[in-house]
Amino acid sequence: MINYEKVLSEKAKGLKPSGIRKFFDMLDEIKGVIALTVGQPDFVTPWHIRDKAIKSLEDGETYYTSNSGLFTLREEISKYLSRRFGIEYDPKNEIIVTIGGSEGIDLAIRAIVNSGDEVIIPTPSFVCYGPMTEMAGGVPVFISTYEKDKFKLTADALRAAITPKTKLLVLPFPNNPTGAIMTKEDLEDIAVVLRDTDIMVISDEIYAEMTYGGKKHVSFASIEGMRERTVVVNGFSKAYAMTGWRMGYVVAPREVVAQMYKIHQYAIMCAPTTSQFAAIEALRNGDTDIKNMTEEYDRRRKLIVGGLRNIGIPCFKPEGAFYVYPNIGGFGMSSEEFCERLLYEEKVAIVPGTAFGKCGEGFARISYAYSVKHITAALQKIENFVKKINHERNKVK
């Protein structure tokens, strides 16, 4: 009998399982829950995009594409990045089509990080950066962002975290879970700290299309002097409601892409061909879909922020992504306790902020990738819950 403790990789064994699993398992056991937990759009991929994918299957387009992806797709990505964010990448050697944004993040970390290198990761943020850094032999250095700073990364916080071993900074904006964005000015402050260093940047811009209140997303690569050090990760999952297609891409200077390309070539070969055909259609004819979906998210954002504030839960007004990140620290219990009680007592599921980093204590993430009807019903139940716990606490006093 093999002793798996001995044979398996120390690095893999060392990875912490995602803390939220336990909560999601609880959620699965309870019937009739109004969940506001998922990190993916509730829209179905627009029909014209699905239709083009079906057509590609009918036409027998079932081969591997080139490793970097269909050239037409890379050309469309190049045009899109230029027209939306004013950044220029050569489809020949500066773009790789990946299996979702996640593969792009993994490629970039593995192509940049040497053993012992430090990777600065602002938190709360999506859960993959730390574990991928560890698998690459790097050391994650988590730094906190705060409600008082609108959950932005500040130049001071970055400066304080930099050591001679710092190799890479992850910029996860628009942010999951806080909904924070970085404006051009915010990014320029960060650029000042990085200029004249060799620190590289992964800018995870997967929520780039979801910004609100007239604030257009600014790519870190568009900030003067930053293109040479930046790997931009983006994809189709959020913008076009295409999570299941697993379509993303990375763009970077050709020297960086050349290294990522080898890893991608050996590990992945190429992104799914059917999805690539769908992605071409999305980039060519999907601007209106993005506009319509974003307008709908925006209305829900206002509804949910307004609703939470009315209930008496302080809530930072997010400017990006499709999450709100209310402050639930004032109810005399931990985030996890709050979310568990809300789940068991009112059958509403939201994610404790601690799932996204230690500094998430006192907060919770609520996704508004749900219908207005669903959100309205959930808000009513959250209100019942808050009334109940306020009543309990008053009795104790």
Partner 1 sequence: METILKLLESNAHLTPAQLAVMCDKSEEEVKKIIAECEENGTIVGYKTLIDWDKTDRAYVNAMIELKVSPQKDLGFDRIAETICLHPEVQSVHLMSGGYDLLVVIEGKTLKEISDFVFNRLATMDGIVSTSTHFILKKYKDKGVIYNSSDEDKRGNIL
Interface with partner 1 by CB under 8 A: which residues? Answer: 18, 20, 24, 27, 35, 37-40, 42, 126-127, 176-177, 243, 299-300, 302-303, 306-307, 351, 355-356, 372-373, 376
Minimum distance of partner 1 from residue 127's CB (angstroms): 6
Minimum distance of partner 1 from residue 18's CB (angstroms): 7
Q: Which is nearer to partner 1, 277 or 316 (CB)?
A: 316
Identify the CA nearest to 76 among candidates 238, 277, 337: 277
Minimum distance of partner 1 from residue 305's CB (angstroms): 8
Q: Which is nearer to partner 1, 208 or 351 (CB)?
A: 351
CB 100, CB 237: distance < 8 Å: yes
**Cβ within 8 Å of residue 48, ≥6 positions away:** 281, 285
Minimum distance of partner 1 from residue 246's CB (angstroms): 12
Identify the CA nearest to 293 among candidates 213, 204, 209, 208: 209
Minimum distance of partner 1 from residue 300's CB (angstroms): 8
Minimum distance of partner 1 from residue 343's CB (angstroms): 13
Identify the CA nearest to 84 among candidates 241, 251, 273: 251
Q: Which is nearer to partner 1, 66 or 310 (CB)?
A: 310
DSSP reduced 3-state for 198: coil
Q: Which is nearer to partner 1, 108 or 127 (CB)?
A: 127
Q: How far is CA 7 from CA 10, 12, 17, 146, in A?
A: 9, 11, 19, 42
Rounded Cα–Cα distance for residues 241 and 15 (Å): 30
Rounded Cα–Cα distance for residues 272 and 235 (Å): 14
Rounded Cα–Cα distance for residues 161 and 382 (Å): 38
Q: Which is nearer to partner 1, 74 or 300 (CB)?
A: 300
Q: Which is nearer to partner 1, 182 or 375 (CB)?
A: 375
Q: Which is nearer to partner 1, 241 or 270 (CB)?
A: 241
CB 323, CB 178: distance < 8 Å: yes
The amino acid sitting at 249 is: Y
Q: Which is nearer to partner 1, 171 or 355 (CB)?
A: 355
DSSP label at residue 91:
T
338: which 2 tokens? 């709050």
Rounded Cα–Cα distance for residues 352 and 337 (Å): 9
Minimum distance of partner 1 from residue 218's CB (angstroms): 24
Tell me how far apart the terminal alpha carbons of the chain are, to the nearest angstrom: 60
Strand bridging mode 166-171 / 200-204: parallel
Residues, the chain: 397
3-state DSSP helix/strand/coil % of the chain, to nearest 5: 50, 15, 35
Minimum distance of partner 1 from residue 303's CB (angstroms): 5
Rounded Cα–Cα distance for residues 260 and 279 (Å): 21
Q: Which is nearer to partner 1, 341 or 374 (CB)?
A: 374
Rounded Cα–Cα distance for residues 219 and 81 (Å): 9
Minimum distance of partner 1 from residue 29's CB (angstroms): 13
